Structure 1
């Protein structure tokens, strides 16, 4: 009889331990939370922030002189990743840590060109979506990649572009040129068309460099769709004309491996940032005039009719461009706004219900310090 009682106690203890494990797994569902770096007590803390409960959870700490920037985490909290500058300050590389297995991997550590890694985001427990910016010739050459953290292999979703437009006889020593050379008007027009530009080759003079910039990508995991923007610039323009040649929104389908043009901005407008709703029905974009951020506005685009954009928030009289819009749920976004002429430290972060128009400032403090959640990402 005593033996049976002991067996019963052992079973109860085992069930309790298993239940504790279940509770831990529920607590570690970080989906929908924001994650990134904040200033701690003489350290830099990697944290997860819950916007509903206004609660910070510290995951790791780094010395104050560590040059970390972007960060991401899996929904179950088992892995996190961050970008960090190398000792020489020439490029960023990516570190992936597995908390459960106590392992660490590094990617892009031995790059030859100056480069940065932006918008890192776990899209599942092993793959990270990111934007890589290289500077091969003084102008950016950007890529949107998916990195498999188990194999180290990357899939190229979108590649940027830069080229020198020149007459056939205007550039003698081509061996020293690091640009692609565009000598035919037809080739120039094809590039302009790809970026949704209303310009033609007749609008661009010889010896002009054209180059593109991509936005950080945003993804709807359930629909296997990646959204991003492409903006084409030129390095010089005649008086009265801008350096912006075209800005557009694209969708990459992971199933078909094809890209589709969804929306093109008006002349002299840049689509700066982009975020997609959790259900994949709508996009919110920030759009502004010229490179100075004039007339910054947030637009909502219904993906069932992506050619139309509805203004949901306008720059106030002294306002500046809106920064970092992120969906929190299907109806709510958060974004930064800073007054013209003021430093980014004086920006304010807002939460906006895009259906009702209700807006409020997000006032979050970590160790008595106001947080703007710059370079934070949403955990899928």
Structure 2
């Protein structure tokens, strides 16, 4: 549970009126009444400051047009709430607001990565689909943007589904799990990432099937790929490899996100300990570097699962299908050698390392831009409920 601290009420008389009937102060000066302590106002750290939860006081009236303006300050040092700028002490985003910010930021970041790094993904897919078969280099490098349309269409909703779910679950779980903001924060991050994976994979799977078939050169257009899958397998064909997709994403994100959060926390702590004036807050390039490192490690570890997922999604009609992830892993290792399970490792690591830098950098920038806007919208909606009369 977050520590509590006292807040102070500074009651400022309105223009033309002073405390106890005294003459009004000179223009440009303010004579607040003595602060009245309010004990036990729960706070939680947000961006190095304090966030007051519960009832915040904005304005109180004494009758008529005269008003007594009430300002709430955390520990006597916060900014006024009523009519204050964005830096004022205020409650944080609600779970709904957190979901909205994560959804939009994830959509922007995911689309940026897919558009910029799609050729690396195509090259990786072709290497994995070919396995140990000899493939001409020209064929590997031809049409590297094949399948970009379904990828872009899926990118925004899939990334939005993941990050909207991840941010909302991370917040709820961190508040629910004992010491979820401290020692057991990685547990909250892993569980939140797992929930995000299920949501994202459900949205992405049909687009991924079409995209990878186009990347592997099995069809000439998205329309041909869709008709072929429907004709041979029906609706279930669009979720071929769904289990392998989820099982690939779960360990990937179970590694990536706790590692990403830990790298950010440690780097910020070191900056704060060294006396940086911004209190250790990371810059965009530093956040991107953390995302890149976390993504590279996770990509290398989960490459065998990615190989199986690619094979299941690009199986041609008439071939013996893989019965699942375990069957795929064992068959590939038995028939082609263990080395086949690392096919595409280098382009996958490079792709995700670069993608992590772009994705997390773009995600954090977009999130930082959207958060105050959504917070102001929520504050306006709650404003009337925070006012009371003295």
Normalising by the residue count of structure 2, what TM-score does the alignment of the two structures yield? 0.19
Higher share of residues assigned strand: 1
Normalising by the residue count of structure 1, what TM-score does the alignment of the two structures yield? 0.20
Higher share of residues assigned helix: 2
Larger radius of gyration: 2
